[in-house]
Amino acid sequence: MTRPFGIVSDVAEAVGNLKAQKARTFLTALGIVFGVGSVIGMLSIGAGAREESLRLIEKLGVRNILVDSVPATSPEELQQRRRASQGLNDRDIRILESNLEGIESLSPRRTLFPSRVLPKLSGSMPTLIGVRPVYSKIHGLTVAEGRLLSTQDDIDCAAVVMLGQSAKINLLGFASAVGKMIKVNDTWLEVVGVLAEQISEAGSGVKVQDRNNAILIPLNTFQYRFWDTTRFLKDELDGVDLRLKEGVDSVQTSKILNAILASTHRNTEDYVVTIPAALLEQQKRTQAIFTYVMVAIAAISLLVGGIGIMNIVLATVMERTREIGIRRAIGARRQDILRQFLIESILISVGGGVLGIVFGVTLSWLIASVAEWNTIVTPLSVVVAFGVSVCVGMLFGIYPALKAAQIDPIEALRYE
């Protein structure tokens, strides 16, 4: 059994041997540096993309089912559709509420792009969205100021609105908006609440509705106070948002919902159903495969670095053959020679691994800054990359170390 101070002296000697050939040691370690850095960089990109995609999907609500109307692209297409289907309308709402089990909340949705608003806009035109008050619960909406729309607002067809953050700033600036009046087309509306910042990007194959630049009003207010002159190619409703009770299988419920709508619409493809829970699972599988592929590609750099270590240690063995012979002649055992060269290989990989971590973190920061891509360096990615680099150094150092240990001492002393 090797004594502790023997290992310490071996490490010290290995460090001295590597320092004697600084340039060669550094160039040998570069393969490990780039390999570890690439693995950390790829994992950080994958983790960032996964986090962003899952955040978007989860914001839709994993207990939600979203039904969206597909507008006709021409009067001819609309006429053909209407022979079989009346489109998404209030009749569908009544049928779903009566026949679909497991519904906790349901809100029809209508949208309108106003022709004019007051005060004068400082940005893009907001979208007017008519919804039931439960729409806020379905999508987990919260207010930055004021209150949410209430059931009484909907019953009274009240002329009240909630503004998204962008819409509020574009219309009323940065001061408090609650209690102020805005005019949409020909109707004056009182602001009762301002929504907290919402996610509005597109991701994972589904577009998240931009509620930041939106004006939300009660559905009955929308139906009785507004008329959309451009609606001739659209259905009565633009969509239906459902939230299921806890424990209800959203995928199975969506199949029943699809069957109901297919029956009422006579298999006309004038609507699309989005299931965030199914998207979430699909996205997790896709991101896992994506990460595995990227890490496999990055790991090639580690393999190349390992081959470099083996090559340089083999060259070192040849250069130090006479030294090996002298050490054997004065009593060093084969396992001492084996350990000496193996320690040198591991030190190269450890040094390269440390520099690789710095390189990988810097690479991730540069990608996030220059490409504006969300990256996340996780402790697991650092540990995995560093651990693999050490294993690579050990594995690729075994063969040269064995070759050194098997050198005949008499032949080594004769070697020039």
Alpha-carbon gap, residue 191 to 203, rounded angstroms: 31
Alpha-carbon gap, residue 238 to 109, rounded angstroms: 6
Residue 99 vs residue 205, higher pLDDT? 99
Question: Which of the residue ranges 27-41, 114-128, 207-221, 287-301 would you say has the lowest mean pLDDT?
Answer: 287-301
| Number of domains, the chain | 2
Alpha-carbon gap, residue 307 to 313, rounded angstroms: 10
User: Is residue 280 pLDDT above 80, yes or no?
Assistant: no
**Does one domain contain both 173 and 316?**
no
DSSP-H helix ranges across 270-320: 276-319
Domain that includes residue 196, residue range: 61-276
DSSP-H helix ranges across 320-378: 321-329, 334-370
Residue 38 vs residue 201, higher pLDDT? 38
**Does one domain contain both 21 and 127?**
no
pLDDT band at 54 (very low <50, low <70, confident <90, very high): low
Residue 343's nearest CA partner among 316, 323, 304, 305 is: 316
**Does one domain contain both 147 and 226?**
yes
Helices 250-264 and 276-319, packing angle to 10 deg? 130
User: Is residue 272 pLDDT above 60, yes or no?
Assistant: yes
One-letter amino acid of 318: M
pLDDT tens digits along 18-31: 787 788 888 888 88
Alpha-carbon gap, residue 175 to 128, rounded angstroms: 22
pLDDT band at 358 (very low <50, low <70, confident <90, very high): very high
What does the block give as tokens for 396?
Answer: 């690729």
Alpha-carbon gap, residue 336 to 328, rounded angstroms: 9
**Does one domain contain both 330 and 401?**
yes
Instruction: Output the pLDDT for position 395.
Output: 84
**Does one domain contain both 180 and 81?**
yes
Instruction: Output the pLDDT for position 203.
Output: 42
Of 276, 303, 323, at which residue does a domain stop?
276
**Does one domain contain both 74 and 148?**
yes
Q: Determine contact, residues 283/54, Cβ cutoff 8 Å.
A: yes
Q: Determine contact, residues 236/92, Cβ cutoff 8 Å.
A: no
Of 241, 276, 311, at which residue does a domain stop?
276
**Does one domain contain both 397 and 255?**
no
Instruction: Give Cα separations from 5 to 10, 296, 329 (angstroms).
Output: 8, 39, 22
Residue 266 vs residue 7, higher pLDDT? 266
**Does one domain contain both 254 and 230?**
yes
Mean pLDDT of the chain: 83
pLDDT tens digits along 159-218: 999 999 999 999 999 999 999 999 999 999 999 999 998 765 444 444 556 788 999 999
Of 226, 261, 276, at which residue does a domain stop?
276
From start to end of 18-86, where are the E strands? Answer: 64-69
Instruction: Output the pLDDT for position 2.
Output: 46
Instruction: Output the pLDDT for position 60.
Output: 64
């040094």: which residue's tokens?
Answer: 351
Question: Which of the residue ranges 78-92, 158-172, 207-221, 304-318 would you say has the lowest mean pLDDT?
Answer: 304-318
Instruction: Output the pLDDT for position 315.
Output: 80
Max intra-chain CA distance, the chain: 105
**Does one domain contain both 81 and 172?**
yes
Alpha-carbon gap, residue 160 to 86, rounded angstroms: 31
User: Is beta strand 103-112 parallel, antiparallel or unpaired with respect to 271-274?
Assistant: unpaired
**Does one domain contain both 175 and 204?**
yes
Question: Which of the residue ranges 37-51, 92-106, 233-247 would you say has the lowest mean pLDDT?
Answer: 37-51
Instruction: Output the pLDDT for position 205.
Output: 44
**Does one domain contain both 128 and 164?**
yes
User: Is residue 3 pLDDT above 70, yes or no?
Assistant: no
pLDDT band at 47 (very low <50, low <70, confident <90, very high): confident
Tell me the mean pLDDT in the region 146-159: 94
**Looking at the chain, how many residues does it have?**
416
Alpha-carbon gap, residue 412 to 392, rounded angstroms: 29
Tell me the mean pLDDT in the region 364-391: 83
What does the block give as tokens for 208?
Answer: 């998240």
Instruction: Output the pLDDT for position 194.
Output: 95
Q: Determine contact, residues 196/142, Cβ cutoff 8 Å.
A: yes
Instruction: Output the pLDDT for position 394.
Output: 83
**Does one domain contain both 32 and 69?**
no
- Quickly count: other Cβ atoms within 10 Å of residue 134's Cβ: 18
Q: Determine contact, residues 392/305, Cβ cutoff 8 Å.
A: yes
Alpha-carbon gap, residue 267 to 357, rounded angstroms: 56
pLDDT tens digits along 55-79: 666 666 778 899 999 988 888 888 8
pLDDT band at 5 (very low <50, low <70, confident <90, very high): very low
What does the block give as tokens for 196?
Answer: 């907290």
Residue 273's nearest CA partner among 67, 1, 44 is: 67
User: Is residue 45 pLDDT above 90, yes or no?
Assistant: no
Contacts of 21 (CB under 8 A, 6+ apart): 316
pLDDT band at 414 (very low <50, low <70, confident <90, very high): low
Determine whether 220 is exposed, middle or buried from the number of CB atoms within 10 Å of its CB (0-12, 13-18, 19+).
middle
- φ/ψ of residue 8, rounded to 5: -60, -45
